Every structure is written in structure tokens, then in C-alpha cells.
Chain A
Amino acid sequence: MRIGIVTDSTTDRTAAEYAERDIVMVPLVVRFGDEVHFDWVDVEPQEFYRRMRASAVLPQTSQPPVQDFIDAYRALAKDCDHIISIHLTSRLSGTVHSAEAAANMVKDEIGVTVIDSEVISILLWAVIERMDEARRAGQTLEQILNIIEECKKRAKLFFMVDTMKYLQMGGRVGKAQAFLGQMLNIKPILTLTDGGTPTPQAKAKGTKAAVRELVALARAEIDSRPADQEITLIAAHADNPEMLAYLEKLVAEAGLRYTKLITGWVGAVVGSYVGPGTIAIGVL
């Protein structure tokens, strides 16, 4: 059985990586006023943050149109027997709903299992790598779906935002208490809970302190895992390369146990959610 994998641009990976693993990516949309861009297709993160910082207008994001998923599914239908379409958490975007609608419309042509990964960014990519490896090893659809469920249980993402402003304006956080202390240089550290909702986890008195806290949280997570478990560690930054470098240095110094480390930029769409300056660490 040949299984196709479809995801969206919020894995924060490049075209070359999708091609290498034979993954189909459907981009989300990011708009500056009337100017429309496709995440990771015609908008590079570096240029995007430069504009985001300079612009008075905040970028707006939207999920891919249903038609884009229909097109992706139909294109794969020729070579595949079934498709797994896995996407960023539905707590942050309606992408999964676009995918579901599309899956329903093509159900007579190809079977599509749509999955809410409950995570985002490179951590979502780490899940996809596991899926792809299982697929290459000839595992069945059911086995791959089980792997995804296991990943969803394990995946932990911790991230520091420079300001709660972006999450707050997008209506993407819960409690008001999280905003106390905005006048101080207190960096909120959040995690994803309850299916991928950003939830305040800790406060750090400054950016470097926040990065140290992120590494401590990842370390505690890794230490709670069985010693023989394969661990993918991810780290991402939204236009904050110095702090990513600091984080990597701390990870090395602390001797964190992992099988694989993936690092990179947070793209335009995820960057619009969390704002420039964000640093994330994730454990799968």
C-alpha cells in the first residue's frame, strides 16, 4: 500500500526537505494589507520579520483554501492508495478544517485521513519524519497512525515570546493573568496543552533567563523519558539568531540526551502568531 503524506507550511521547513522525503506541502496564506503571500513559498522568514518590525500594519494569516487541499489530494491519488494529511494544531488555525472539508469532497476518489497534530513548527516536522521513516520501512497505515498517536502523547513544546501582544491580539491565549507584569521585562514561557492551546507555564526575568528556563524544561522532559527512547530535539527562532545560538550552546553544555537535533527559523505564519523574537524548544 502506498501512503501519501500531506502537511502544511507551518512545519517551518523548506521545499528541498519536502522533496527529499516526498511530502506534499500546502501553504497557509499571510497578508500585508492587500498584498498576499504564501508561507515559505514566496516569503522568506528573514525578509518577513524585517517587514513585520517596520510595518504599522500587522500581517494577517489565513488557512489554505479548501481547493488547494483538493488539488493536492487529487494529484497524489494517481500514485497512492491512501493519504495522511497532518496539520498544525486546530487551536491555532482552521487549516485542519479546510483539509477535512477537502477530504470529504474527494472521498470517492481517494481515502484521506486528516490529523490534528496538536503541535506546530519544527516539532510537527519531527512527527512527519517519524511517519516517513515508518512508511519507508513498509509499515501499514494502521501502524503509522499508531505512531502518530504515540507522538501526540509525547510531543512537548516550550516557547518564550518577546511579548504576549501577538498571541493576545490573535485571540490565541487564554487567561488574563498571564499579562500581569507586561511593564517589566518579564518573558512569558508558554507550552501547548489541551490539544495545542498556548498556555503560560513560567515567567523569566529577561531573555537569557528565559532561554535557560527553556533548556531546563526540555531537560526535565527528557529526563522523564525511558533511557532507551529515541528523542528528537527541535529548536526554532523567530528572528532571534543570537538567542538560538545561546540555546544551542546551553543544550550542548548541559549534555541533553537526544538522537537528533533539528533547528531553524520560524516562518511567516507561525511568526505572525507568536511575534518576532520568539524562541522555542521541543521534545519528541
Chain B
Amino acid sequence: MGSTISASELQAIVTGWLRDLEKHRDEINALNVFPVPDGDTGTNMYLTLQSVANQVGSTAEKTVAGYSQAIKDGSLKGARGNSGVILSQILRGMSDVIIEGGDLDSKLLAKAITGGADVAYEAVMKPVEGTMLTVIKDMGRAARRASRKSEDITEFLRAVVDEGMESLARTPELLDTLKEAGVVDAGGKGLVVLAESALATISGDTEWVERPVEFAVSPADFMAGVVSDEREIDLEYTYCTEFFLKGQNIDTIEFREEIAPLGGSLMVVGDGLIVKTHIHTNDPGAVLAAATARGELSGLKIDNMREQTAETADKMITAAAALEHKAVGVVAIAVGNGIKDILRSLGVATIVDGGQTMNPSTEDIVKAVEAAPADSVIVLPNNKNIILTAKQAATLTDKRVYVVPTRSAPEAFSALIAYDDSKSLNENGQAMDAAAALVTTGEITTASRDSKVNKKKVTKGDIIGIASGSLIAGGGTVAETAIKLIKAMANQDTEVITLIKGAGLDEAELPKLLEKLEKKFPLADTNVYEGGQPLYPLIIGIE
């Protein structure tokens, strides 16, 4: 067992960090309590480390000190969001201690972790306990204790990881927002992942046991709480502003004091030559003016957090709806990323890949039904060739299954609008049957062989329009074929025309098509969606 960390081991630790943080990125993102003004913690920490790894990879000085300098430089350049900036400060504090020290043994590492915690506390104007700051501070304390007990670096790291886990588990006790949400701190979780990763790299034991974070309440409940009327989303500041300030002898303390009255969540970090600034403000202009008086700006990023909040809230609701265990869930078979996204946004829990050219097996559907977080399951086959497979799958599982025989995505969308998971399986099935039956589907695709439409010859490769199993139109452009097809399918009572865009559609054809439809069917709402399906430039639903 070694008592020091070598240069190549340090490099391996950084590589491991990036790999392990990527693995835990979504899990950490899911821990965000607020409608995250700064975006996702896991993603921010990951991107910060990516910059660290790049710098370490490109440094010429392949020593412990050289790598440490690279870790410091890379993290400061790449830091994103609150969590990334705090992480960069921790790494900067650690690196400074290591660069000054000799052999990287447990004593020096303990000093480095403590140094990292100190620098991070200084960088934040109002340190909040129960965050990653607390976790790094506690790890530093455990590190000092452990370094006195043993010289073995693996044992030392294990003690640091254990304390990190415990400290992380205590974060909800320190921070009410975490407690209300029933989660631990996301940034703290990220730090623990990094500590565990370093331990795994040094001990060679890469199969370390995952200890997943438990949600004290269901993700759906806490995410729903975020937008409930009890908790008004009220952001004091609109813009998240971030930039580097480069110059000579920049007085960071003076600069911080000058811009502090302009906003909140302020962080000004760096040395006299390069300063990273992060602030939430209503007046980015005044912040930038103060900055440009002192040096040159680079890496400027200004985000409107109100927009982010609305988007994130949407994303959270969708994610939460999919995770939540329901009495009645939905499994859908689909192809095309756009179609899948819409299905998920309508509450579909599990999606099986499959469509015209790749019909899923009975077993694929059975597996999805069994994996769906629901007691009973509605299946939407979305293709006439898959309906029977779905019905057979229904007989091969212990779960109660209702197959709504949808033959297309527009039918599925219509069925899902009628879906209500507070109702029984049969009530849902019948309501969804009825809703799907209102939809007629047309498809635009390419002829796979020579044929005839209305006595006109269609050659293999021509654009054709199909509805209810018959060839209706063919031989023109996608838009020309679509308009013929829709005229054949729709009438003056048509209320909704749904167009799902797929591969092979020329976007330039769309505006004219929409104009013609508006003229021909003035009462109808025409809705265009990104479907992303192959082979069918347009799938058309008429209601």
C-alpha cells in the first residue's frame, strides 16, 4: 500500500473524475431543489471538470506540481454555474497547497483539502451551510484526523469518503429547502462522487459499491411542489451574468465591493491577472461597465433566468411524470425522437423502439409493460403491424393491460390527451379508444415499387400519399402530395390538422402548404410538430 500519490496517479484521478461525474451527472441534476436559475449542478460540475481534464491532458510539465497547476488553471477557466465556481475554488485551494508542498502524502493532502475548503468559503459572499461548502469542510476535518492515524493513502481516502457520505446525509438537517424537498445537496453529492472516484483510482478497486441517494419524497411530489401555488417562483434578479476579467493587478476585493450592491449570488474569484465573476443581477450593463474599467472581458455569458426557470419547470414536470408510480401507466411504441419527446410530455412512461420497418417483438413489449412504473398499463402500438403483437404481449404478463389500437402517432397524441391516471384502466382505455377513433391518418412516403394512382403512373422513388391503406396521391412534391391527400381526408367540419415532420421534408415547402390549408379549411387549427421519423417526410392526422 502506497503512502504517496504519484504524478501519473494524479493524472489518473482526474480522468476518473470526469468519467465518474458523467456517470452521476443526471442523478446529481435530479437533486436540484429550485427551478435552478443556474442550470443543472451535475452538468455544471461535469463541464468544469472537462476543462480541468483538458488542461491536465495538455500540460507539458508532467509532475505533481505541474498537474496541480493545470487542475487549478483548467477549473478556473471552465467553471460554470455556482457549483462549478465553488468546485474550482476548492481545486484552486488544494492545488496551491500541493504546489507548495513536497511529496503528496496523506498529511499534505489533508492540508490541501482544508486549504480548498478555506478558499471556497472566502470566495462566497454569504456561505450557506448544508451545501458543498459544508461537505468539503467536513471532509477536510476527517482528512486531518485520518492523516494522523495512518500513512496509508487508501485508508486515508476511505476515511475522507466515509465522512463525505455522512456530511452529505446531514445536509438536509442544515438547510430547510433540502429538507422540504427531501433531498441532499446536489453539489455536495458531486464532491462525494469525486472523493469516491479518487479512492477507486488509487485503490484500483473500480467496482466500488454505488450508494444511491434516497429520495425522502417521490421526485414527482417535490418537483410538483416547485410550481405549486404555495411556492411562488419569484426571482429577485433576472440575469445570470458570468465572465472572465483579464488585466494587470486587478484588485478583486475592490471589484467585488463595487459590484456587490448590483445583485446577488456574487462570486469574484481569481488572482490579479484573471478574475472569474458570477453575479445574479437586474443590471448586467452596470456590472460590465465596472469590469471593463479594470481590464478585458472574455467568456461573457448572460442568461435570462426567468426563461430558464419556465423551461426547467416544464422539463421537471415531464421528468417527474415519467418517474412517478401510477395506477395506470402508458407504454408506447414509437420511432423518431420528436415523436418520443411528445409522447413523454403527454405522460408515457416507457417507450419501445419500433415502427413500420422495425416491428418490436412480443417480448420487447412485455418487458416494457413490466418495467413501466404502473400497476396496470395502456399500450399504444402506433402502427397497424404492431397491434397484434401488443395484444399478444398483453396475455403474457401478470399486469393488467389494455391495448388501444392506435395506428399512428397522431392517433396516439389524441388518445393521450384523454388519458387521466386518476381513472381506472378500463375507463382510460375506453376514453382513449374513442379519442383515437376521431383521428384519420395519412402518410407521405416514397413509392417502393411502380404503381398507379387515379390512372396515373407512379414510379418507384416517387412521393406518394397514403390514407386508410389506399394510395391517394402521388408524383408531385411532398407539399403537393400532402395537399391532395388532406383534401381527400378532410372536410369543412375538420377541426384539427396535425402535421408531423420527418426525414426527407424540405422545410421550404411548409409555409405554402400551411397557407393553402388555412384557406381551404378556415375552421381547422393546423399544428406542426417535429417528429424526426425516418421514411415519412410527413405524417398527417385529421380530426
Contacts and interface: CB of A to CB of B under 8 A. Distances in A.
Given A176-B320, A184-B342, A203 B495 contact: no
A33 B525 CA distance: 36
Nearest to A171: B232
A165 B496 CA distance: 23
Given A58-B306, A169-B309, A176-B228, A209 B525 contact: yes
A33 B227 contact: no
Which DSSP category, helix, strand, loop or mixed, fits chain A's interface?
loop
Given A171-B231, A205-B525, A206-B496, A180 B413 contact: no
Interface in A229-279: none
Contacts of B63: none
Given A180-B317, A184-B342, A169 B527 contact: no
A182 B345 contact: yes
Contacts of B231: 171
A184 B346 contact: yes
Contacts of B309: 169
A276 B473 CA distance: 40
Contacts of A169: 233, 306, 309-310, 313
B495 A57 contact: no
Contacts of B416: 181
B205 interface: no
A139 interface: no
Nearest to A187: B525
A57 B238 contact: yes
Contacts of B223: 176
A208 interface: yes
Interface in A155-184: 165, 168-176, 179-184
A203 B524 contact: no
Interface string B77-93: 00000000000000000
B475 interface: no
Interface residues on A, range: 20 to 34
Contacts of B414: 205
A209 B496 contact: yes
A179 B232 contact: no
A186 interface: yes
A137 interface: no
B164 interface: no
Contacts of B496: 205-206, 209
B515 interface: no
B227 A184 contact: no
Given A165-B310, A169-B309, A184-B346, A197 B229 contact: yes
Which 5 A-B residue pairs are closest in the complex by CB-CB distance? A206-B525, A171-B232, A176-B224, A185-B527, A183-B345
Interface of A: 33-34, 56-58, 165, 168-176, 179-186, 197, 203, 205-209, 212
Interface of B: 220, 223-224, 227-229, 231-234, 238, 282, 304, 306-307, 309-310, 313-314, 317-318, 320-321, 341-342, 345-347, 413-414, 416-417, 495-496, 523-527, 529, 543
